[in-house]
Structure 1
C-alpha cells in the first residue's frame, strides 16, 4: 500500500475539513475526489496536484454526503446531500447547479448514483424522514419512494447502489432507530423490495450504520454493512450472509466495495484507528492501514483498470482526505 496523498493535503486546514468524501476515476486516467463540509460547501479536487477544481455552495447547513458519477460522454456530475433536507446535482467541472430535490422533510444523510440501462442517471437519497428516494437526475422527478419506518425515528444513514450486467439497479440502505439496525435491499428497476435484514449489534443508541453494494460480471450481487466492530457481507439476491469480518474498535465507521477486473469483490472498512481491506469471498485480509482515530471515519474506493485500487480515507483533521494506492497482487 502506497500513500499517494497530494502534498497540498498534508497541511491542516479546519475550513476544508470534510464530513464525507467520494472518489471516481475517468477514462483518461484522471482521478477526482469530492468532499463536503460544515459550511454548506462541497469541493471537487484534482487528486494529482491536490488543487480544488470547483467549489459549490448550495446548502444552508452541513453537507453530509457527496457522490460522483461519470456520464457516457465523460462529463462528471456531483451530488450533495445536506442537513437542510436538500439534495442537489452539480456539474463537477463548471460548478453549475443543475437540479435541487426538495422532497425530503429532514436531513439527507446519504446520496448515491446509479445508471439504469438506457436511462438518464438516477440519484438515490436516504434521509431522517425514514425514506429512500430514487430521482431522475435529468427531470428531477421521483421514480420511487421507499419507506423504512417512522420519520424522525427510523433514520436512513446510508444508501448504496449496484447495476447488474443486465442493467438492473439494485439498491441497499441502512436504517437505525437507536434500538435496532436494519439493512434493506430493493430492485429499484422494478420497484420491489427483496430483503429486510436485521443486524445484531451491541447496546442501545444510534450507530449510523453504513452500507455498500457491488455487482459482479456473472450477475452476482454483494451487499456489505458496518455497525459496531463488524462488517457483514450478504449475497444481495438471496439475503444469505456470506461472512462476517472484524473491524477495528472505535467510533462510527464506513464501508466500501469495489469489483476488480478479475471478478473479485474487495471490501474496505474504516473504524477507530484502522482501515482494513479484505477479499469479500475468501475473507483473506489484504492490508491493514493504521492512521490514527477520530469520530468521523469515512472511506471510499475505486477499482482501476490495471486491477489495483485507489482508496480515500478521511479522519477529523484530514483536509480533505488521505489517498492510498493498493496493489492486490
Structure 2
C-alpha cells in the first residue's frame, strides 16, 4: 500500500542488488521496491518502550519524519527521529527496536548514515532544540559522541580521501567534521539572515567540495581543500522561488550534477562546476518538495523526490 498524505523524508539502500526506498510521513513508515513497484507499510516498535514513563502513554505512536538506513549483518537497519522524538534504531524487516530513546532525549531535525567502512554509524542533529551533533551506532552500550556545533538543521555525509566526513547546515552557515575523531574540518559562512537547510559533500575536479542550499533559495559551493578560503567557488546559484529544502549530488554523464527540491514545488538540476541550471525546472509535485535522494536504477542515475503531495517521483538524470 502506498502512503496517503505528505512525505517528509526518503532514504535509499541497496538490498540484493536493487534499490530499496524508505520513506516517512504522518507518523508512518513505508518501504518501496521501485523495480517491483512494491509498497509495504513498516510498523515499528515504540521508540520509548524502554523508558519507564512509556506506560503512561499506552496509545502513543512514533513520530519519525527524518530517516536513514544502512545494511548490517544482512539486515536493513533504520535510524529515525522527529520533531517530538529523539533518535532511535530499528530492524526494518521485523520492526524490532535495537536502540531506543527516552523522553529526555533531544528531538531530531535531521539524521544521516555515516559513509565509510565498519559497522553502521548514524549522525543526528536537532535544529533549535539543542546545540550540537551526535554520532551513534545500534549498540545501546556505547554512548553517543557529541560534536561541538550550534543549531544544525540539515546533515549529510560522505567518504572522501579516506575520511568519513559529516556536514551540517545551520543558522550561521555550514560546518564540516571528521567522524573518526569529532574534530571540525572547516566552517563556511553564507549571507546574513540565511539558514542552510540542505547540505551535501562531493568531489569536483579532484577537489572535495561542500554544497549548501538556503532558505532564501540560493545554492553555495565551497572548496573544502581550503584553496578558495571561505569564499564560494562561484557566485551562488539562484532560481527557486523560496527556500531549498533538500538536495543531493550525482554523476550525470561527464558532469557532476546537483539536484535541488524547493518550497516552490519544483525540482532543479545544476552543473556543480559553474552553477548553471541544466534545462528547465522539473514540475509535477503539488506542493513543497521535502526530500531529494540520488541513486541508480538499471545502471542509470536517477533522482527520487517527495513532498507534501505524498508522491515519490523518479527523474532520469542521464544528460
Please indicate the TM-score interval, normalised by the length of the shorter structure.
0.7 to 0.9
Alignment of 1:1-329 (within 5 A): 13-14=4-5, 17-26=6-15, 28=17, 30-39=18-27, 41-47=28-34, 48-52=36-40, 54-58=42-46, 60=61, 62-71=63-72, 74-102=74-102, 105-117=105-117, 119-127=118-126, 128-139=129-140, 141-142=142-143, 144-149=145-150, 154=151, 156-166=152-162, 168-176=163-171, 181-200=172-191, 209-214=197-202, 220-227=207-214, 228-238=216-226, 240-243=231-234, 244-259=236-251, 264-271=255-262, 272-287=264-279, 288-295=281-288, 297-303=290-296, 306=299, 308-319=300-311, 321-328=312-319
The offset of 1:195, in angstroms, is: 1.8
Any unmatched runs of 5+ in structure 1? 1-7
After the TM superposition, list the runs of 4 or more consecutive aligned residues in structure 1 that deviate by more than 6 angstroms. none
Which residue of structure 2 aligns with residue 3 of structure 1?
none
Cα 1:253–1:44 shift into 2, 3 Å: same
- Distance in 2 (alpha carbons) for counterparts of 1:142 and 1:265: 37
Secondary structure at the aligned position of 1:94 is classed as coil
Aligned residues: 296
The offset of 1:74, in angstroms, is: 5.0
Root-mean-square deviation over aligned CA pairs: 3.0
Normalised by the length of structure 2, the TM-score is 0.80
Report which stretch shifted further, 103-112 or 224-233: 103-112
Secondary structure at the aligned position of 2:237 is classed as strand
Any unmatched runs of 5+ in structure 2? 48-60
Cα 1:104–1:263 shift into 2, 3 Å: farther
Higher relative contact order (CA 8 A, sep 6+): 1
- Distance in 1 (alpha carbons) for counterparts of 2:31 and 2:244: 25
On the 8 A contact 2:30/2:39 being kept in 1, the answer is no
Cα deviation digits, residues 238-268 of structure 1 (max 9, x gap): 25522322241035521112356x7853211
- Distance in 1 (alpha carbons) for counterparts of 2:296 and 2:179: 24
